[in-house]
Amino acid sequence: MLFPDELQVNFCYFKKKHGKRGFMKKRKLGKNGPVVSAIGLGCMGMSEFYGKSDDKTSSEIIMAALDLGITMLDTADMYGSGHNEELIGRTLNNYSGELFIATKCGIQRKPGEYARTINNSPEYIRTSVENSLKRLRRETIDLFYLHRVNREIPLAESIGTLADLVKEGKIRYIGLSEVSVSTLEEANDVYPVTAVQTEYSLTTRDAEKELLPFLEKTGTGFVPYSPLGRGLLTAKLDKTAVSAEGDLRKFLPRTGEIFFEENMKTVNLLQKHAEQAGYTPAQIALAWILSRNDSYVPIPGTRHNKYLIENCKAVEIRLSEETKAFLERLFTQGSIHGERYTEEGMKGLNS
């Protein structure tokens, strides 16, 4: 098994062998999308939702990720009410290396509250893009998503505004987050959507029914968020961790009090198999996503260097047919108990 200290040694070896960019592989995000690192870095937890964090450590993790060869950073204007974008902007203010930043707009929240509204109006989109550019300290946003879609606002107007922003050089590619196939089809009629972001992991496979076949058919890129099941698939969660102040997982059915122990029984079986194969459960979970399609770019988040290195090593794993079959048997429909989240449950963050 590759323990953290061994992973660090391997990192140094690959850095020496391959140069500053580490050992990270690359892949094309969809048929007509950009070439980015095979794994990106989700930065949301550096601002909120997963307990306390500090900017110094977060900046160090971002720079370490780039040093390992990660080029794609994922953020949104609502993460920390702009704090996440500002953090990235400050950290990378003088960075001149390869970089691909994806951000989003569409969810409006009051600072410190979860209660939200969805705004896709052209005016709001334009204002959001300008504000994100300032916070990120960039002239162009590489990939800009509608974080959620409000069907009360004509989608053609929202996508049309994004298309105009592409022409103006404010954004390079258009993305959508958590959308249905019908919404994606409607959006593509106005302007090609480069990538779709949706929660996807061994614990959350709803997208396999309709969305993923459609993305493959159309050549649209896919960015799975929470690829480690909000930490569940690391096998490192315990009740103390998920009950920390500011951690949303205590309000989510799968990691909350009701189903946590039951779901950990399944994860413990994954951990046992992973150790026998010489890997960690997180590495197996990420390697599984990477093996599903060569245009999937998962964006696990972390605030710890040893886990960052561990996640990056997943690009080198080739799962055996035995392991793939085991995962299909273990993570069947209903094997993970509870919904991935509920609006009512997450309102607990406001208390």
Higher pLDDT, 8 or 185: 185
Does residue 322 sit within a domain? no
pLDDT in tens, 109-138: 776 666 689 999 999 999 999 999 999 999
Q: Order the strands of the 221-225 sheet from edge to edge.
A: 41-42, 72-74, 100-105, 141-146, 171-177, 195-199, 221-225
Q: How many CB atoms lie within 10 A of CB 305?
A: 18
What pLDDT does 344 receive?
55
Whether residue 105 has pLDDT greater than 70: yes
Among 40-54, 169-183, 329-343, the range scoring the smallest mean pLDDT is 329-343
The 3-state DSSP class for residue 12 equals helix
Q: Which residue's entry shows tokens 């950073």?
A: 73
What pLDDT does 340 receive?
76
Among 250-254, 316-320, 340-344, the range scoring the smallest mean pLDDT is 340-344
Q: Which residue's entry shows tokens 């959308």?
A: 179
The 3-state DSSP class for residue 16 equals helix
Does residue 345 sit within a domain? no
Closest CA to 232 of 181, 185, 266: 266
Most confident of 57-66, 228-237, 251-260: 57-66
Does residue 215 sit within a domain? yes
Residue 234, Ramachandran bin (φ over 0: left; ψ between -120 and 50: alpha; else beta)? alpha
Cα separation of 100 and 102, whole Å? 7
The 3-state DSSP class for residue 221 equals strand
What pLDDT does 7 receive?
39
Structure tokens at 6: 């061994």
With beta carbons less than 8 A apart as the criterion, state whether 143 and 102 touch. yes
Percent of all residues in the chain with a pLDDT value above 70, rounded to a whole number:
87
What pLDDT does 347 receive?
52
Cα separation of 14 and 37, whole Å? 16
> What residues pair up with 118 in beta bridges, in sequence order?
107
Whether residue 213 has pLDDT greater than 50: yes
Mean pLDDT of 75-82: 93
CATH of the domain at 310: 3.20.20.100
Domain that residue 105 falls in = 4-229+289-317
Q: How many domains does the chain have?
A: 1
Residues labelled catalytic: 79
Does residue 269 sit within a domain? no
Structure tokens at 297: 């770019």
Q: What is the pTM of this model?
A: 0.88
In order of 12, 16, 50, 133, 257, the CA distances from 128 in angstroms are 40, 41, 24, 9, 37
With beta carbons less than 8 A apart as the criterion, state whether 141 and 172 touch. yes
| Secondary structure in 3-state letters for 306-345 | HHHHHHHHHHHCCCCHHHHHHHHHHCCCCCCCCCCCCHHH
Does residue 348 sit within a domain? no
